[in-house]
Structure 1
């Protein structure tokens, strides 16, 4: 395959992954207004976010299984078309119940790119280039939570809450057409011989990386999903305060995520993973303590929350990659399970936080604390992979 062909395919993967993430972050600024728009309460409005993430989790397992029977091109195209249709339908929801149901369908349709992306990257690039590509993809994806809410605020203020769904529908349909026209790399015949979900679920080494990765990211996303409501309703702030917090913490993540491979070569992958996980937990504890003190200064949020993003940037790329390595030849299902766990933990965290979110920062941070502390515990209790080997050039495999 030529370099230009690789670049085009990789660019399509970035577009698909970005749209999948934007399904949450572009809509996020409108959530505080949904109770007034649909005559419901804040807890029910939060389910608009949880339904999308929960649907995405189901979609991961579904597409991971369908990949054994259908081509990636057909599945990716159909998922994008379904996402576009569900997005447009959301814009015409007559009530909050219909919106929540459509968001679940939209979430299911968003899951194809996370399932097929890692396998396609490994097929497109050598091992070293694949690691760099995954790191670059992670950096681009990390910009979505920072930039999409900004566009979401602009759309909300100028065109109403429906506009974010309409934009997602149009952009995703264009991406589906590009997949149909440009296609994907030739793939091997589907096979059931590479393993199963059950084998991965009973592999303690894989589960160590998969669950700790999911808990660290899920704890962060639980806090992010609840932050707009807490900032506006409990801390007397505005959506601008939320955007400032996001821009600062995402910047910290990007910087550290692009340095973490070098840091791991010097200090060891396992030490970096544990350090990042502990850092994220300490950040959650600091937010909880500030909430208990009755703190309402929104300027403290970036200061206390950014270490959580830095911790994720430190452990995230290496933790995900080692999870894929731990899954061996069963890496497609391994990738699906890791992202599935992220979605499910985020959904569970959001659902748990929803009824108590009116209590303010301390309540939201308490839920995040519990998730992050469990991540630390799993790293300490479950077995790690053997020490990394070195490739032909003498470079350690992370």
Structure 2
């Protein structure tokens, strides 16, 4: 049983890791990309915003498809689109073409997180689902550590276009791995438009789903505000080399992994909702520290790096629990619920990423301010979920009693 769970975590982790790889591998190249394409830092940051928007929109389509046709066939189509768009990014003649192709790349890659969450919900509930999602963060967490390091060296040796060629190859590898090792966990269904509408109404009328989804969405938006702003803050403002940036980014990702594994152990004796409440409060306090560093400039680069590390690490306690709690009551419509959850999360993330670029004033204040606003909003959403009703649903209680 443990071996099967480990293999499943590896396969699902690889599919989910494709997203962070696609985001993080090219981050060190953003300044060089702007120079090569003859554009500004704000414009190149739109390639990130376009990717987040594509993830949000794409997931809406995959939800009904995975409930209708099973988990694997829509994933085949999505990964094929991802590979083609990655090749297009490598050949993009200008920044506007690159922005459009990044959007298509995200629409294809959006199949990965939708299917991953749906498969977890097909097989597990309650603390067992939250623990598997924490385990997935260990597998996929290697991606943010390695991606900027690899991207920095690829940039040094071959230029930024080679990064997208490598991503296309990784997409093909994920297709092969999925075909060989991912089981089909959902039977085919044939819901018509009326049935989809009924399921959608049931999901959006679930206040706990919306509140826990927003708690995860705002925390993830803070993460992507960091992803969008950190190349400028560290490389341009603090004169960190692209290679050293990769090490800093990787250290933050290691903190995220460590926190997610502590969360995995905590769930053996604590409820996900309790861990989530404390984690969102901690994130709010850390984001206040980040704003203070940005405004006062006390401590220089060291203070910036420590503040960012604490913020990113705290998210390891938020995302697995928020996702498991949001999906808890929707096993019969896991694909649609997963798609709606992901779409909301990445829509909020796209807004946060765009806001960092729009507010760019040559300092780290825009990034810090957006991250702080996201941290406080995540805490508020978690508090709303706890006030809105019991935090231990019957299914969750049953799962806890059984040790699932």
TM-score, length-scaled by structure 1: 0.90
Is the contact made by 2:50 and 2:350 (CA closer than 8 Å) also made in structure 1? yes
User: What is the correspondence of 1:182-261 to structure 2 with a 5 Å cutoff?
Assistant: 184-185=183-184, 187-192=186-191, 193=195, 195-261=198-264
Is the contact made by 1:284 and 1:372 (CA closer than 8 Å) also made in structure 2? yes
Indicate the residue corresponding to 1:357 in structure 2. 360
Query: CA 1:335/1:236 → structure 2, altered by over 3 Å: closer, same or farther?
Result: same
Matched, 1:176 2:175: yes
Matched, 1:304 2:311: no
Query: CA 1:66/1:266 → structure 2, altered by over 3 Å: closer, same or farther?
Result: closer
Deviates more, 1:384-393 or 1:94-103: 384-393
Indicate the residue corresponding to 1:11 in structure 2. 10
Relative CO higher for 1 or 2, CA cutoff 8 Å, sep ≥ 6? Answer: 2
Deviates more, 1:102-111 or 1:117-126: 117-126
Deviates more, 1:11-20 or 1:104-113: 11-20
Give the Å deviation of 1:236. Answer: 3.0
Q: Which runs of 5+ in 1 are unaligned?
A: none
Give the Å deviation of 1:282. Answer: 1.8
Give the Å deviation of 1:306. Answer: 2.1
Is the contact made by 1:283 and 1:308 (CA closer than 8 Å) also made in structure 2? yes
Deviates more, 1:231-240 or 1:384-393: 384-393
Distance in structure 2 (CA, Å) of the matches to 1:347 and 1:322: 23
Is the contact made by 1:87 and 1:168 (CA closer than 8 Å) also made in structure 2? yes
Please give the per-residue CA displacement for 1:89-126, whole angstroms capped at 9, x wherever unaligned.
Answer: 10110000000000000000001111111232344568
Distance in structure 2 (CA, Å) of the matches to 1:396 and 1:384: 23
Distance in structure 1 (CA, Å) of the matches to 2:152 and 2:142: 16
Deviates more, 1:49-58 or 1:93-102: 49-58
- Matching residue within 336, 345, 350 for 1:347: 350
Indicate the residue corresponding to 1:161 in structure 2. 160
Indicate the residue corresponding to 1:394 in structure 2. 401
Is the contact made by 1:50 and 1:347 (CA closer than 8 Å) also made in structure 2? yes
Distance in structure 1 (CA, Å) of the matches to 2:202 and 2:225: 29
Is the contact made by 1:280 and 1:312 (CA closer than 8 Å) also made in structure 2? yes
Distance in structure 2 (CA, Å) of the matches to 1:179 and 1:241: 34
Is the contact made by 1:208 and 1:384 (CA closer than 8 Å) also made in structure 2? no
Q: CA RMSD in A?
A: 2.6
User: What is the correspondence of 1:72-91 to structure 2 with a 5 Å cutoff?
Assistant: 72-91=71-90
Distance in structure 2 (CA, Å) of the matches to 1:396 and 1:182: 26
Query: CA 1:251/1:123 → structure 2, altered by over 3 Å: closer, same or farther?
Result: same
Give the Å deviation of 1:221. Answer: 1.9
Give the Å deviation of 1:390. Answer: 3.9
Deviates more, 1:167-176 or 1:125-134: 125-134
Equivalent pairs, count: 396
Query: CA 1:311/1:354 → structure 2, altered by over 3 Å: closer, same or farther?
Result: same
Structure 1 SS opposite 2:300: coil
Is the contact made by 2:9 and 2:139 (CA closer than 8 Å) also made in structure 1? no
Give the Å deviation of 1:351. Answer: 0.7
Q: Which runs of 5+ in 2 are unaligned?
A: none
Distance in structure 2 (CA, Å) of the matches to 1:185 and 1:3: 19
Structure 2 SS opposite 1:160: coil
- Matching residue within 310, 315, 333 for 2:318: 315
- Matching residue within 333, 336, 341 for 2:336: 333
Query: CA 1:125/1:364 → structure 2, altered by over 3 Å: closer, same or farther?
Result: closer
Please give the per-residue CA displacement for 1:29-59, whole angstroms capped at 9, x wherever unaligned.
Answer: 1112122111111110100111111111111
Is the contact made by 1:244 and 1:302 (CA closer than 8 Å) also made in structure 2? no
